[in-house]
Amino acid sequence: MSTIKVKRQSFTISVDRDSVPVILQCPESDQPSPAVLLLHGFSSRKERMADSIGRALASKRVASLAIDLPLHGERDAGFEGISFQNPAAVIDKWRRAVREAHACLAYLAAHDAIDRNRIGIAGYSLGAYLATVVASDDALAKAVALAAGGDLPPQTPFISLVRTVMDPLRSIRRLNGRPLLMVNGRLDRTIRPEEARSLFDAASEPKEIRWYDGSHWPPRSAIDAVAEWLAKVLASPSP
């Protein structure tokens, strides 16, 4: 069996006069490849997504673009300057993250090595919220995979205000028949099983939820299963 050669590049994408650090992994191919935008969790960074689900996707000849969200990774200097008791500041960063994710989907769609009709989006935890919102309003995302995703926990600060800006249930209903996969831990206490089920129940078909015996971060077997699902769903262009 031949080894798949993967070109890995680290650079920045300019969005609204800000620089978004990214890692692009592209398997060598004579034809444009499918690709997935990868969105990490709270207090994480692009490398964790690139080195887990990104590598699993590359082994199946699927490209990926992992990005650092505002206040994360190479951009973490801003954490000290924001208080989560200041909802306006948090909402501003959230809206920036949404714009950047849309811009990164557009970047993939314009890339010569990528098939713009076979682009997916995958998010973990905080990134799952973001992936749900972005996909609901961006037809470039042909498939959605959420790890440790769900509805907002009831203890979310300023939850009524948050739902006016970011409501996972409202967003998931707007996927309009695009394939959805959720993978969640039976022992997760951050996004509990009931919150995962609430989001899943709000989505339309085709959809699938898979459970792993673990807590918040999925095991390797679950990550590989997500990559396999994305590769299968993106194998041919969506109608």
The 8-class DSSP code of residue 7 comes to E
pLDDT of residue 157: 79
Query: Which CATH number goes with the domain that contains 177?
Result: 3.40.50.1820
Residue 88 within a domain: yes
What burial letters (b/e) apply to 142-163, b meaning 16+ CB within 10 Å? bbbbbbbbbbbeeeeeeeeebe
What's residue 1's pLDDT? 47
- pLDDT of amino acid 91: 84
> Is 80 a residue whose pLDDT tops 50?
no
What SS3 class is residue 112? coil
Residue 120's CB is within 10 A of a number of other CB atoms, namely 31
* Cα separations in angstroms, 142 against 42, 118, 137, 206: 25, 7, 12, 12
For residue 45, being part of any structural domain is answered with yes
**Domain range holding 17?**
6-233
153-208 pLDDT, tens digit per residue, is 988 877 888 898 899 999 999 999 999 999 999 999 999 999 999 999 999 999 99
| Mean pLDDT calculated for residue range 52-71 | 97
Measured CA to CA, the distance from residue 150 to residue 123 in angstroms comes to 11
Per-residue pLDDT band for 145 (boundaries 50, 70, 90) equals very high
The one-letter amino acid at 31: Q
Between CA 35 and CA 231 the distance in angstroms is: 9
User: Is 187 part of any domain?
Assistant: yes
Query: For residue 128, with 0-12 CB atoms within 10 Å meaning exposed, 13-18 middle and 19 or more buried, which class applies?
Result: buried
* C-alpha distances in Å from residue 206, one per residue of 143, 149, 173: 10, 17, 12
Residue whose token pair is 């300057």: 81
Look at residue 62 and tell me if it is in a domain. yes
- Does 212 map to a domain? yes
Number of domains in the chain: 1
Backbone torsions φ then ψ of 101, nearest 5 degrees = -65, -40
> Looking at the domain assignment, is residue 209 inside a domain?
yes
206 vs 171: CA distance, rounded Å = 16
For residues 37 and 57, give the distance between their C-alpha atoms in angstroms, rounded to a whole number: 11
Q: What is the pTM of this model?
A: 0.94
Residue 238 domain-assigned (yes or no)? no
Spatial distance between the Cα atoms of 50 and 22, rounded to a whole number of angstroms: 9
What secondary structure does DSSP assign to 26-71, as a single string? Answer: EE--SSPEEEEEEE--TT--HHHHIIIIIHHHHTTT-EEEEEPPTT
Domain presence at residue 1: no
pLDDT per position as a tens digit, 88-132:
777 888 999 999 999 999 999 999 999 999 999 999 999 999 999
Only one residue has tokens 């190479």, namely: 74
